[in-house]
Amino acid sequence: MCQNCSKELAKTYDPKGIEGRLYKKWEDNGYFHAEVDRSKKPFTIVMPPPNITGQLHMGHALDNTMQDILIRYKRMQGYNALWQPGTDHASIATEVKVIENLKKQGIDKHDLGREGFLEKCYEWKDEYGSRIINQLKKMGSSADWQRERFTMDKGCSDAVLEVFVKLYEKGLIYKGSRIVNWCPVCKTSISDAEVEHEEQDGFFWHINYPVVGEEGRFVEIATTRPETLFGDTAVAVNPDDERYKDIVGKMLKLPMTDREIPVIADPYVDKEFGTGCVKITPAHDPNDFEVGKRHNLEEITVINDDATMNHFAGKYEGMDRYECRKALVDDLKEQGLLVKVEPHSHNVGTHDRCGTTVEPMVKQQWFVKMDELIKPAVEAVKNGDIQLLPKRMEKTYFNWTDNIRDWCISRQLWWGHRIPAYYCPDCGEMVVAKSAPQKCPKCGCGHMEQDPDTLDTWFSSALWPFSTLGWPKKTEDLDYFFPTDVLVTGYDIIFFWVIRMIFSGYEQMGKAPFHTVLFHGLVRDSQGRKMSKSLGNGIDPLEVIDKYGADALRLTLITGNAPGNDMRFYWERVESSRNFANKVWNASRFIMMNLEGAAITEPSADELQPADKWILSKVNTLAKDVTENMDKYEMGIAVQKVYDFIWDEFCDWYIEITKTRTYNKEQDPVSANAAFWTLKTVLTEALKLLHPFMPFITEEIFCTLHPKEETIMLAKWPEYRADWNFPAEEEMLEHCKDLVKGVRNVRTEMDVPPSRKAKIFIVADDAALRETFEKTREAYQNLAGASDVSVQADKNGIEDDAVSVVIPGATLYLPLEDLVDFEKEKERLLKEKERLTKELARSRGMLSNEKFLSKAPEAKVQEEKEKLAGYEQMMAQVEERLAQMNR
């Protein structure tokens, strides 16, 4: 072990043996915790709160790895870094889980009542809610767990009440009837975020609607949902469509009903699509709803909450929507009103929780009025106050803001923040307040009833950047840590969460909640498919950690990762990352073994050899480049540079170059000391640069190398130093590397064993370059396997048969007799000639045998001809080599 070290590194790197121990050390010592400190500049990230129903998947692993890299980097730079964690109550997901659990016990939620059911939800949360947090800790996430929040804790709940009441009083929250996404199984409205659109094969049913008063004349419409026909209140055509101008204003007989509906003109209709006539069902289609508002059309809901048909469907009442579809189509065909059926592939919305096809329905719900609230969020991105990375995400962002609709925030669930609206059972008066009124302000009734609905989960998570810091109270944390700095999230929730946090920040705090949004892509399987339960192609991050360690998984996820781009997961890449960890471990262990007993002092610049200055200059430039990449959030580029430096420049070159000096420390202690100091210094700098990406292995090595240091987490991030800038030595060592590579290539081609040394003649016209090769002999002589080196201006004294290697600025010559043992080589070649003579005789004999040529398959004959050509070529090469040796 090195001098003053309290322990030495284990012989082999075992992640299982160190990761749990180190994480406990970090937590126990409070290294993740941040308190207000006005002497330091804050840097804050809020963790996208995972659902309490959640289990760690690769998306979580990537998202939290990126956040942890940033927070560790900023912590080392001296910022007061806060990574604010927490979990989301996930109203629908949790309610579904608890209901399923109760069903197994034979209990219905309604039998428990609301309060009893909520008790079960909290019990479930207490048992399972921290599961994903513990899994995130396995990843090495250095979040401030002492500050962990929950979207339904008292502080966050107070924030929800504050915002709801404020927005209501400003007229920005209202209750009204609008089209919503309705899940017939969960029996609640759901947000756009909870609707997954999947391509499904379906049909276009073409149906004739008779024109009233014109016997035999029809308007042909095409629909993918015939069962909604009962809710039609008009048929629309484009006002510029010449085909239908004469029927605008006329009435149509709605098939299978006794109703008549008008033909209206509206630019919403695409003349080129379908028949150019569109049935308008305002209560069951969001676009039709808007058309209906423009034309004052009636909204007729024809489907019940459980997806059965209601009384407006006549004889089909009580049927499931798909049963009704089949029966209705049969009846239309029988009446001669079904024109044709065409196959049609289209997007169908399904609930991401239960897989049920969502039904658009007009419902009495609570909404947030968005037209004014969204304006600051649009302006913030346009003027650069908020930067979206990659920039192409702006297109998606503005596409959503430009087509904003009022946000449905009520859910027909029990688990969640209950809407703070209270109704008088006697006079119907409604009061919105943070707490229940004692009596009705209008009639004095003493028992007001609270709205049964809860709020959309996104309503509370939209307040996350400031509610977690104590708002609506004016806390010191809020004043110091807000606004936060960077939000890291997947591009798939840009609308649902990111935009809502932004407009909520401006509305409640008067400022942007963060200055940068860093979007990452999805982690796909090796075939490029999205990981899903249905495909069974999900990879459990904990399984990867158990097999290869958290550091290997983190390195795999971030290597080659570019903002906004999807990535593929390959087990081979994890193995490669594990191999890199082994390389770092073994190199560090080798260095520390060589440092054993050495009293190292910092050398003067004159005592540093060219190779020392070269590697110091390289790590110095690396620190500058990696810092620039990190500040641009180019984490994949940054880690690749660190990886390449450690593996290539440091391990494969510098450590090898210094071996002679460190082994011969007694002969030249000054040179050895310079090498020892440089090895330890550069390893230390490299470990610091690698730490944010691979925290566990770097902590173990660093604290073994520097036993007086508490942790690498609080070590100073490397900064560029002018006194470590050695461009001349960098150029010198590049020449040395070219020399070594050139010689090694020749030795490999000639199959020269590593133990065989050869003299190297270096011929260069440039005197400065000759001086470089003279000064840097120790950097290349041993690596090139040179017995001796002669640097000269011409070819004097070099045999004609010497092997030549051209490198930039010089030519290398290696005497052939140094590379080859002539007698052994001649013996080998003669044996090879004897073998080839027999093979040629055999092959020529077969190919001159008429019986073989006539009976053997054509492929076999061709194979033998190819063998003969190969033997002939090999024999020519052997004879040429023998002739050369005889000369």
533 annotated as ligand-binding: yes
195-349 and 823-886 share one fold = no
Torsion angles phi and psi, residue 790, rounded to 5 = -125, 120
* Domain ranges within the chain, ordered by starting residue: 195-349, 568-725, 751-819, 823-886
CB 150 within 8 A of CB 87: yes
The rounded distance, in Å, linking the Cα atoms of 48 and 88 is 9
CA distance 459 to 530: 28
State the sign of the Cα–Cα–Cα–Cα dihedral 709, 712, 715, 719: positive
Q: Are strands 173-183 and 359-368 parallel, antiparallel or unpaired?
A: antiparallel
Q: At what angle do helices 58-76 and 635-644 cross, to 10 degrees?
A: 70
Maximum Cα–Cα distance for the chain, whole Å?
122
Which tokens hold the place of 83?
């990574």
Token reading at 107: 């209990």
Check whether domain 823-886 has CATH 1.10.287, yes or no: yes
> Is-contact 493 457, C-beta < 8 A?
no
DSSP string across 253-320: E-TTSS-EEEEEE-TTS-TTSTTSEEEE-TTS-HHHHHHHHHTT------B-TTSBB-GGGGGGTTSB
Q: Is 807 helix (H, G, I), strand (E, B) or coil?
A: strand
Cα 110 to Cα 107, 116, 673, 751, distances in angstroms = 9, 9, 78, 82
Find out whether 735 and 775 touch, Cβ atoms under 8 Å: no
818-865 pLDDT, tens digit each:
887 777 777 777 888 899 999 999 999 999 998 888 888 888 989 999
The DSSP string of 414-453 is: SSSPBP-EEE-TTT--EEE-SS--SS-TTT--S--EE-S-
Give the span between the Cα atoms of 552 and 577, in whole angstroms.
5
User: Are the CB atoms for 398 and 409 separated by under 8 Å?
Assistant: no
Among 3.10.310.70, 3.90.740.10, 3.20.20.30, 3.30.365.10, name the CATH number for the domain at 195-349: 3.90.740.10
Distances (CA, A) of 829 to 74, 169, 745, 837, 884: 64, 97, 22, 12, 12
Contact between residue 406 and residue 368 where contact means Cβ atoms under 8 Å apart? yes
Give the distance from CA 92 to its chain's centroid.
25
The CATH number, out of the four listed (3.40.50.2300, 3.40.50.300, 1.10.730.10, 3.30.420.10), of the domain defined by the range 568-725: 1.10.730.10
- pLDDT, tens digit, for every residue of 645-691? 999 999 999 999 999 898 888 888 999 999 999 999 999 999 999 99
Total residue count of the chain as it appears in this document: 887
Where the chain has pLDDT below 70, the residues are 1-7, 193, 352, 534, 887
**pLDDT at residue number 1:** 40
Strand positions, DSSP E, 439-557: 449-450, 454-455, 486-490, 516-520, 523-524
Question: What is the value of pTM for the model shown?
Answer: 0.85
d(CA 457, CA 192): 12
